[in-house]
Amino acid sequence: MFYCDKRLQYPVKVENPDPIFARMLQQAIGGVEGEIRVCMQYFFQAWGSRGPSTKYRDMLLHTATEEMGHVEMLATAVALNLEKAPTSLQEEGAADGVVGAVMGGGSARHTIEGMLHRHLLSTGMAAFPANCEGVPFDMSHIYASGNLAADMYCNVAAEATGRTLAVRLYNAAHDAGMKDMLHFMIARDTMHQEQWLAVIEELGGHEGTLPIPNSFPQSKEHQEFNYNFFATARDGSAPPEGRWTNGPSLDGKGTYSVFQNEPLGEEPVLGPARPDSGAQNEQIG
């Protein structure tokens, strides 16, 4: 269950409302890099967490709930940035000192075209669960595999792309209040990257967690190929050398090498089409 506190996790203030920036903030709400994504990802990872210890489940629940607070902050920021937006093409944005300053003297048409029409038509100048193009978040980027290590690596990627987005928004922001909110959220993304990597380290680092799942015996995999980098250049030229082409593997269980990719199987030959398959006569043997 959850408890509600009407106060925001961190102050959200907008001195100079900017409808276009409101649209940009929608990406941080409902984009693939956004807060709905990580919030739901951590919740579902927690709700499906198994094992003798509940500490990882509990940790995920704490962080998922924190991320819900981030969605609330961003939704508030979107609404505040839309407060002075015109509601028709007849309203001149430049006539309003606030919008005029933001738009550089531009017209209401420019303002409306820059924001999402759904902010006006569907939500009454409020945020909604979609990205900056108005595409609803559909939960297809929620990764909760039931494997703790796999989920932690997914979480690092989610926080890394989320922090990248937050930095871009910070650099695009002109309002001091928005920069203040974003510099808090960037800091939290820093911690969460560290947090998930700390779990991986606690599980034994790369040597302890890789390959995932570590419960599958490697004796059952084709060990001739499990640490080969497949070079696929048609002319047979060697690939660029890197950490992945030579030396001990990250899990300490093998040695990297380069394999010049070549066909190991035969050309596939399928049987004739069935008479009832709707194929052409020439396909039916």
Rg (CA), the chain: 26
For residues 262-285, average pLDDT: 94
- The 3-state secondary structure of 145-161 reads CCCHHHHHHHHHHHHHH
Compute how many other C-beta atoms are within 10 angstroms of the C-beta atom of residue 129: 15
State the pLDDT at residue 14. Answer: 97
With 80 as the cut, is the pLDDT of residue 103 above it? no
State the pLDDT at residue 97. Answer: 44
Look at strands 255-260 and 228-231 and give their pairing. Answer: parallel
With 70 as the cut, is the pLDDT of residue 91 above it? no
State the pLDDT at residue 242. Answer: 96
CATH of domain 19-206: 1.20.1260.10
CA pair distance 55, 46, nearest whole angstrom: 10
Compute how many other C-beta atoms are within 10 angstroms of the C-beta atom of residue 198: 13
CA pair distance 270, 3, nearest whole angstrom: 60
Q: How would residue 98 be classed by pLDDT, with cut points 50, 70 and 90?
A: very low
CA 66 to chain centroid: 16
Segment 42-65, tens digit of pLDDT: 999 999 999 999 999 999 999 999
With 90 as the cut, is the pLDDT of residue 89 above it? no
Instruction: Dig out the tokens for 75 from the structure.
Output: 């939704």
CA pair distance 117, 111, nearest whole angstrom: 10
With 50 as the cut, is the pLDDT of residue 99 above it? no
Measured CA to CA in angstroms, residue 83 lies from 78, 96, 127, 279 at distances of: 9, 12, 12, 61
- Residues, the chain, total? 285
b (16+ CB within 10 A) / e for 213-222: ebeeeeeeee
Please give the model's pTM, rounded to 2 decimal places.
Answer: 0.88
Segment 121-150, tens digit of pLDDT: 899 999 999 999 999 999 999 999 999 999
For residues 254-276, average pLDDT: 94
DSSP 102-141: HHTS--HHHHHHHS-HHHHHTSSS---SB-TTSPBP-STT
CA pair distance 211, 225, nearest whole angstrom: 14
Segment 173-216, tens digit of pLDDT: 999 999 999 999 999 999 999 999 999 999 999 999 999 999 99
CA pair distance 215, 225, nearest whole angstrom: 19
Q: How would residue 94 be classed by pLDDT, with cut points 50, 70 and 90?
A: very low
Burial of 5 (0-12, 13-18, 19+ CB in 10 A): exposed
